[in-house]
Amino acid sequence: MNHFNASRQPMPAQRPNIAPGSAEARKLAEDLMDAMSALLGLIERETELVRAGKVREAMTLESKKQELSRNYVGAVSELKANQAQLAKSAPELLSTLHRHHDAFRAMLQVNLTVLATAHAVSESVVRGVNAEIQKRNVPNTYTAAGRRAAPGPRHITPLAVSRSL
């Protein structure tokens, strides 16, 4: 029987915490600002496209958005790992980053709201179409008590949606 020994497994490579001086602190801050700016630009473009109803074109941005999101998460992780040293060596830089990050989060919230609205509208349209299809296929009958009969499973027509149109 082969036993798993966790102590033999290599640990994932992580950058050690550095004690950033002003140049290193500026580099960390610039990396995060660049990541936020690039991601924000793409998110703003995606928001514009979805608002204009160009969802298919907005979907083409997905792979680039994932890449920029990974860069952003990496920059945030690096900054968090060195936050204590940054607070000592460059507190004004850290407060500037916090302000920029707050603006970044506000823009992300706008994007999420637009995407959620588009999702809700499309779901509503599909449900409405489905309700109309089902209404046409259900026999219009009444029970002995004079109430409209509920359709059975054999009367329900499946709805197929093509995402390639």
Instruction: Please give the full DSSP string across 77-100, using - where no structure is assigned.
Output: HHHHHTHHHHHHH-HHHHHHHHHH
In a domain, 150, yes or no: no
Q: What is the pLDDT of residues 121-147, one digit of tens each?
A: 989 998 888 888 877 777 777 788 888
Predicted local confidence at residue 117, as pLDDT: 93
Q: How many domains does the structure of the chain reveal?
A: 1
In a domain, 158, yes or no: no
> Which amino acid, one-letter code, is at 21?
G
Instruction: Answer with the residue of higher pLDDT: 154 or 83.
Output: 83
Task: Judge whether 32 and 75 are in contact, CB under 8 Å.
Answer: yes
Predicted local confidence at residue 12, as pLDDT: 39
In a domain, 6, yes or no: no
Predicted local confidence at residue 165, as pLDDT: 54
Please name the residue ranges forming H helices in the chain: 22-51, 55-59, 62-81, 83-89, 91-137
In a domain, 27, yes or no: yes
Predicted local confidence at residue 21, as pLDDT: 61
In a domain, 65, yes or no: yes
| Euclidean distance between CA atoms 121 and 6, whole angstroms | 49
In a domain, 49, yes or no: yes
* Residue 151 neighbours by CB under 8 Å, 6+ apart: 134, 137, 138, 139
The mean pLDDT value of the chain amounts to 81
Q: Does the structure show a pLDDT above 70 at 38?
A: yes
What is the pTM assigned to this prediction? 0.66
In a domain, 39, yes or no: yes
Distances (CA, A) of 39 to 20, 47, 116: 25, 12, 19
Q: What is the pLDDT of residues 73-107, one digit of tens each?
A: 999 998 888 888 888 888 888 888 889 999 999 99
Structural domain boundaries enclosing 77: 19-135
Closest by Cα among 142, 143, 121, 125 to 133: 125
In a domain, 156, yes or no: no
Section 10-26 average pLDDT: 54
Cβ count within 10 A of residue 124: 10
How far is Cα of residue 84 from the mean position of the Cα atoms in its chain? 29
